[in-house]
Amino acid sequence: MTVPLDPLREALAAHQAGDFAQAEAGYRERLRANPADPKAHYFLGLLHFHRGDHSAAIESVSQALRLAPSNAQAWNSLGGMLIAAGRARDAKEAYRRAVSVSPESSEGWYNLGICLRDDGEIAPAIEALRAALHRDPAFHRAYGALSALLYQAGQTQEASELYIQWAARDPSNAYARHMAAASSGQDAPERASVEFVRSHFDDFAERFDASLARLEYQAPAWVAKALALNLDEDSRVDVLDAGCGTGLCGPLVREYCRNLVGVDLSDSMLARARVRGVYDELVNAELCDFMRARARGFDAILSADTLCYFGSLSEPLRAAKIALHSGGILVVTLEVLSVESAQSDARQNLDASAIREPTYHLAPHGRYAHSEGYVRSALVEAGFELISLSRDVVRREGTQEVSGWLVVARGLQT
């Protein structure tokens, strides 16, 4: 005797195999037989979403929830669909319903925390992310999001402890390792790893521009003004935007460029730079490797807050010298390491050599700060003549001003 097949099970199998037409036919057959089947409505909603039809997806999953309102997984899915449709506030309410019907849902607490964070509700976001980790201590994404928020809220000791816990739980995670070193001051590398930079900015790309706008970020404007001041009037030159990110510098310098090239490690950042439509070429590559491969390729190299991910400046400066024509201009921004803060950190770590000669330091936020004396000596050793070195507020973090160096140098003729 042949047992009749369940249309819903067959539809699910087709869905998982990527046969969307057969899957939809199966879901609709099930709904004709039972219009009040919440599972069929839910899976049909997922199918719509996978096809890119956000409106139909939201309607189907909403119908499933009207029939079965205690389904936490469906509330979480609805939240994701609402985010994709640009309805972040509605998504936040969907995630609230998810944790209301299932308080043990670590995913629901995490998603709610991210929505709260993106809406500027920092204290509630911290509590939601703490709830996610309390329910699932192996929820690695929650470690990074919670640690960053704790740092932002001034709770640096707890942030440091959390980064260290995360690195211990997930030692292969480059981001966790880097931030544990930054926040603890122990085992700091000479530069941020390629894996750290790529993962950090791939994750950060979507909210990068909005975040920097809130911080009153000045580096792109500094760099563009410095370039203009150091070019002959009406000249157009070949320019490299080194670590271009989402392309914030591009529109500001385009008028001075004969050819404008951007290089970055993050595909997600480059995708946003591409939308600006101002670059002649955008390349995914490690910065130093790229510059060495483009010997004598540029009249000017700009780098807005990219060398903050290098402690030792020797390699990037030497690579920049290779990539520049003789007499080419280098314009970079760095974070300031004051003698006083360097000596304070050194005393805490009992590092007498650092007290005498501060050079660079990996700060708790994960970027390096550099002292004036070190910047000057590193430029000379790499073959540059310093044109100017100025200091100003590059951005604000909460109520704190972050000081930056604006460095303009010329490659010496060889």
pLDDT at 365 (0 to 100): 87
Query: Mean pLDDT across the stretch 115-124?
Result: 93
| Per-residue confidence band for 410, with pLDDT thresholds at 50, 70 and 90 | very high
CA distance 69 to 58: 14
Name the band, by pLDDT with cuts 50, 70 and 90, for residue 349. very low
pLDDT of residue 402: 83
Query: pTM for the whole thing?
Result: 0.81
pLDDT band for position 39 (50/70/90)? Answer: very high
The pLDDT tens digits of the residues spanning 252-273 come to: 999 999 999 999 999 999 999 9
> Is residue 264 classed as helix, strand or coil in its secondary structure?
strand
Residue 233 banded pLDDT, cuts 50, 70, 90: confident
Residues 207-411: name the CATH superfamily: Vaccinia Virus protein VP39 (3.40.50.150)
Sort strands 324-336 and 368-370 into parallel, antiparallel or unpaired.
parallel
Angle CA 186–189–190, to nearest 5:
135
- Which of the four pLDDT bands, split at 50, 70 and 90, describes residue 313? very high
Q: What is the pLDDT of residues 185-223, one digit of tens each?
A: 888 899 999 999 999 999 888 888 887 887 788 899 999
What is the residue-averaged pLDDT of the chain?
91
The tokens describing 289, both together, are 């490797």
pLDDT tens digits for range 18-35: 999 999 999 999 999 999
Q: Which long-range contacts (CB under 8 A, 24 or more apart) does 204-208 make?
A: 205/246, 205/266, 205/268, 205/269, 205/271, 205/272, 206/268, 207/118, 208/245, 208/246, 208/269, 208/272
Spatial CB neighbours of 150, under 8 Å, sequence gap ≥ 6: 126, 156, 158, 159, 162
Question: CB count, 10 Å around CB of 130?
Answer: 18
Inform me whether the pLDDT recorded for 2 exceeds 50. Answer: no
Could you tell me how far CA 67 lies from the centroid of its own chain?
A: 39
**Local confidence band at 355 (pLDDT 50, 70, 90 cut-offs):** very low
Q: Are strands 400-411 and 384-397 parallel, antiparallel or unpaired?
A: antiparallel
Cβ atoms of 368 and 309 within 8 Å: the answer is yes
Q: How far is CA 356 from its chain centroid?
A: 35
Comparing 103-112, 314-323, 357-366, which segment has the lowest mean pLDDT? 357-366
Q: What percent of the chain has pLDDT over 90?
A: 77
Q: How would residue 399 be classed by pLDDT, with cut points 50, 70 and 90?
A: low
Average pLDDT over residues 330-340: 87
Average pLDDT rounded to a whole number, residues 122-150: 94
The answer to whether residue 1 scores a pLDDT higher than 60 is no
C-alpha dist (Å) from residue 57 to 29, 45, 60, 84: 18, 4, 5, 11
